[in-house]
Amino acid sequence: MSDRKYIFVTGGVVSSIGKGIATAGIGRLLRNRGFTVAPVKLDPYINVDAGTMNPYQHGEVFVTEDGAETDLDLGHYERFIDVYCSAASSVTTGSVYRTVIDKERRGDYLGATVQVIPHITNEIKDRIKRAGEIDGADIVIGEIGGTVGDIEGLPFLEAIRQMKKDVGAENVMYVHVTFVPAVGPWGEIKTKPTQHSVIKLREIGIAPDLLICRTEHPMSEDIKEKISLFCDVDKSAVIESMNAETIYEIPLIYERAGVGDTVTKRLRLPENEPDLREWTEIVGRVKSPRSEVRIGIVGKYTHNGDAYKSIDEALHHGGISNHTKVNIAWIESSDLEAMDVAKALSGLDAMVVAPGFGSRGIEGKIAAIRYARENDIPFLGICLGMQLAVVEFARNVCGLENATSEEFDPTSEHCVIHLLPDQHGVTTKGGTMRLGSYPCTIEDGTLAARLFGQKKTHDRHRHRFEVNNDYRETLKSNGMTCCGVSPDYRLVEMVEIASHSFFIGTQAHPEFKSRPNRPHPLFAGLVEAAVAHRAKRTGSAAIAVGE
């Protein structure tokens, strides 16, 4: 395909209506039709990247292979479209201004007055185009963060408006994700908010080609007609989008609703037959599981599930490969500190101890790990979760009293976790951790070797601390093996306890690479172990769903 196509997704009426999943869903639908897709998120906030943002406010920080700290929507894109995003897939106001100001300081603008239009908008357009060039994608799909009408989003909307002029009207399409509420005692469906948000878009010069209407109630033909008339969008391009039983059904729902046909017609793409087999199989497995387990996520941001979005999804991927429904129990680690841990954690078939920073809740996490270790509950520790598994083992098995991480008490006699050598002297926060994909060599005959089925693996990282090598021997002689190390043997990547049925910790973030069609081995393994644990616990080999 010679002319690259561009699809831009905006959101209207309210935030959090699932614009990221809609974007990812359209991306998947296009892949099902044989096109290559490069997603890009355009975020109007002034942070240079999401790395410095509080997960409570903004959800998890998603890390790409090349170590960019990005918005969690990139996780949706990777999981749905099955691509690898990169730093080029994430554009923020902060990063755009930073580039423009650097250029201005270098004198690149040759005395010009540097302005939002054209300098900022040109930089935004360059970034959008670059995202498509990297892998030579057929289609770039760009999601604009925030809601139409936000002041800070205006330069991005202006840039995507100009794109039509730059690359030709037949190569650009606008999708607006809007909310259609039902109000009053009779649950009357109201189209006015959608009309207004489309008016706002049109004021800027963008006429949407497709409307994805998020709604809790089915929309009648009359309602679609009305939206079509008032918003000047073909009725066939007014798409009803209700909550699906599983988000992975969305590409199939969109395909059935005609989104694929509308997009291919509008962009003059070849009308390839969609291949829906893989995704139909995934959805079928989610909807008809053969067993069911309860897995706890012990973390410190559990009141906002988005803070652990990729872990949540990866557990469900493990469920898909095991034909098992995974019910998540959110466990706030700081609450555990004042609770009877055995009572609070009873009924779990497996446990994940989540990544994190700072001391809040760490003793709760350590108590949970001890409970999993002593009661043979399948356990996966991720990053901080792995570091605390080492701390717990050092304290309660190796007898190293007060063992801890240097992150929490640099004066401790036994810092079994300490600062990575190249982190000494690092004082700034943004983008300064050990970030991105690194290799890991796996020891033969270990649980890790069985799960990965290969000697070498790569996973993404985001940390400043590591296992202190001075303690490797002590850990080993007491039963905790460093089953994964960096190829130069200097850095511990994974630990496990051989005497336990499933106890493994990783310094990496395996959740970022997991996909519904390709679950990460650690999550597939954990769910498999959870199924076995439940069978043991309940004394039956097969567990009926709904038990």
Residues that bind ligand GLN (CB under 6 A): 355-357, 383-384, 407, 462-465
Our answer to whether residue 392 is catalytic in this structure is no
Rounded Cα–Cα distance for residues 73 and 94 (Å): 18
Between 230 and 408, name the residue whose CB sits nearer to ligand GLN. Answer: 408
Give min distance, CB of 463 to ligand GLN, in A.
3
Give min distance, CB of 439 to ligand GLN, in A.
18
Instruction: Kindly tell me the burial class for residue 166, based on how many C-beta atoms sit within 10 Å of its own C-beta (0-12, 13-18, 19 or more).
Output: middle
Q: Which helix (H) or strand (E) holds 211?
A: strand 210-214
Give min distance, CB of 416 to ligand GLN, in A.
13
**392, 407, 496, 511: which one is catalytic?**
511
**317, 500, 509, 533: which one is catalytic?**
509
Phi, psi dihedral angles at 195 (to 5 degrees): -55, -45
Instruction: Kindly tell me the burial class for residue 287, based on how many C-beta atoms sit within 10 Å of its own C-beta (0-12, 13-18, 19 or more).
Output: exposed
Q: Which two tokens stand for residue 109?
A: 């603008």
Phi, psi dihedral angles at 252 (to 5 degrees): -70, -40
Give min distance, CB of 86 to ligand GLN, in A.
20
**Among candidates 108, 43, 114, which has minimal Cα distance to 74?**
43
**85, 213, 231, 383: which one is catalytic?**
383
Give min distance, CB of 252 to ligand GLN, in A.
34
Our answer to whether residue 383 is catalytic in this structure is yes
Between 49 and 407, name the residue whose CB sits nearer to ligand GLN. Answer: 407
Give min distance, CB of 61 to ligand GLN, in A.
9
Between 148 and 417, name the residue whose CB sits nearer to ligand GLN. Answer: 417
Distant-in-sequence, close-in-space partners of 114: CB < 8 Å, separation ≥ 6: 100, 104
Helix (H, G, I), strand (E, B) or coil at 31: helix
Torsion, CA 211, CA 156, CA 308, CA 54, rounded to 10:
-140
Q: Between the CA of residue 313 and those of 214, 247, 307, 404, 541, what are the distances in Å? A: 22, 10, 12, 30, 26
**What is the residue type of 300?**
K
Give min distance, CB of 384 to ligand GLN, in A.
3
Between 88 and 368, name the residue whose CB sits nearer to ligand GLN. Answer: 368
* Angle between helix 192-204 and helix 154-167 axes, rounded to 10 deg: 60
Give min distance, CB of 433 to ligand GLN, in A.
6
Instruction: Kindly tell me the burial class for residue 109, based on how many C-beta atoms sit within 10 Å of its own C-beta (0-12, 13-18, 19 or more).
Output: middle
Between 269 and 416, name the residue whose CB sits nearer to ligand GLN. Answer: 416
Rounded Cα–Cα distance for residues 49 and 59 (Å): 13
Residues paired with residue 538 on neighbouring β-strands, in sequence order: none
Between 311 and 315, name the residue whose CB sits nearer to ligand GLN. Answer: 311
Helix (H, G, I), strand (E, B) or coil at 15: coil
Q: How many beta carbons lie within 10 A of that of residue 449, not counting itself?
A: 16
Residues paired with residue 467 on neighbouring β-strands, in sequence order: 417
Between 308 and 502, name the residue whose CB sits nearer to ligand GLN. Answer: 308
Between 109 and 357, name the residue whose CB sits nearer to ligand GLN. Answer: 357
Please report where in the chains the tokens 């004394």 appear, as a residue: 539
Q: Which residues are catalytic?
A: 383, 509, 511
